Every structure is written in C-alpha cells, then in structure tokens.
Amino acid sequence: MIADLDSDGILTMMMHNNPNRGSPLRGKAMFDEVMGHFGDRVQGVQRIWVYGDNLGGFNEAVRGGASLVSAAKGTWTGRQAARYGFTRARIDEAVPRLDGGLPASPCHIPKMRELMDEEIERLARLAVEYHGIGCSITEIADLLIDKHPNLRLAPFRLAQVLRSAFGLSVHDLQYVTAWVQGEISLETLEERLQVTR
C-alpha cells in the first residue's frame, strides 16, 4: 500500500495484495487503515486506474450502458470511499489503452521470489546512481528490469523502488506500472510523468 494525502486533503493510493497467493492482507482492511491514519484530513479520494480490477469493472459497467460516473461509483474503490461518506464522483480523464480497451486475456504468471525491503533499497540506490549519469526515469526503469527481470512481473515492486529513489507520486507510479505491463506506450508514460528529475 502506498498512499499520499495532498495539501487539499485529496487521498491518492495504490494497493497491491494477492490473496490467491496466501497474502493475509485484504483490500478493505488496507483501505480502512489508510483512512484511519489520515482521519478527518481526507477531503476526497482519487484513484488513477490504468490496469487492474477497478478498471476492469469500470469498463464492464460502461460497456453495459452505465455512465462513466455511475461506473466509477460501482467499482470496489467507489464502494469503499462511499463507506466514508464520499458518494459523489467525477471523471477527470479517460485515456484509451493500447489494446483498444478490450479486456486482457487471462495468462499464467509464474511464481516469483518477492523483493525484500533491503533489495528495494539497494535497487533504489542503483536508480539514483543511474540518474546521476543522466538517465531519465523511464531509462532507469528499463535498466532495472534488465538487471532484475522479475520486476517486469512485479510492477508494484518496481514502483516501490522508483518511489524510494525519486519520491514519485502515486499518480506517477500508476502510469509506471501500466507501462511495465504493456498497457500504455513509453511515449504516453513520458507524457504522463508529472515529475521530471
């Protein structure tokens, strides 16, 4: 779970849990913990969907005739936010995916060794070194994936490395993980990154 609360009280978060692989974490508990941590300072909940269950449910609802706002409210995040009184929604932007917005085909993802915190910090230091010789964030992501191929299968871990190295926002990390998963192009990623370092 990575969460940011901006100066206007807007909460942006990125969650990753995998109960199918035995994770004891549950999304509702993680959401509740973040809301408990920030408390009354939260004035709104923002999510950027570039992949995953929320986007899949959103797209399915829209294909079924729901409005964009109604589809957003019906997602898991929309329902969790509503439990805390955030019942209105708006869509800031909708960007077509490379695949034309069609649902992804099911695929087998091999079991991989999870990156430990020490490895994330080591890779973050390496990322800072690459940046010191003039590499862009996208070039650094490519170099890290070359050195540690499991990062392509674990985009959330890559996001943790880049956040640790550069303090990227959750918004930017959503686009990085979408790029790693092939959902958006490198050009779109570079346009979307709000932080240039």
137-141: long-range contacts, CB 8 A cutoff, minimum separation 24: 137/162, 137/166, 137/168, 137/176, 137/193, 137/195, 137/197, 138/179, 138/186, 138/189, 138/190, 138/193, 140/165, 141/176, 141/179, 141/180
Among residues 41, 67, 83, the one where a domain terminates is: 83
Contacts of 129 (CB under 8 A, 6+ apart): none
**Does a structural domain hold residue 77?**
yes
Q: Is residue 101 part of a domain?
A: no
The per-residue pLDDT for range 124-173, each reduced to its tens digit, is 778 888 777 777 777 888 778 777 776 766 666 777 777 777 777 777 77
Domain residue limits at 159:
117-192
d(CA 174, CA 196): 16
Same domain, 8 and 64: yes
In a domain, 111, yes or no: no
Whether 126 and 79 share a structural domain: no
Domain boundary, last residue among 60, 83, 106: 83
Task: Quote the number of domains for the chain.
Answer: 2
Is 179 in the same domain as 124? yes
Would you say residue 167 lies in a domain?
Answer: yes
Domain boundary, last residue among 83, 101, 135: 83
Which pLDDT band, with edges at 50, 70 and 90, does 111 fall under? very low
Residue type present at position 126 = L
pLDDT tens string 171-193: 777 777 777 777 777 777 777 77
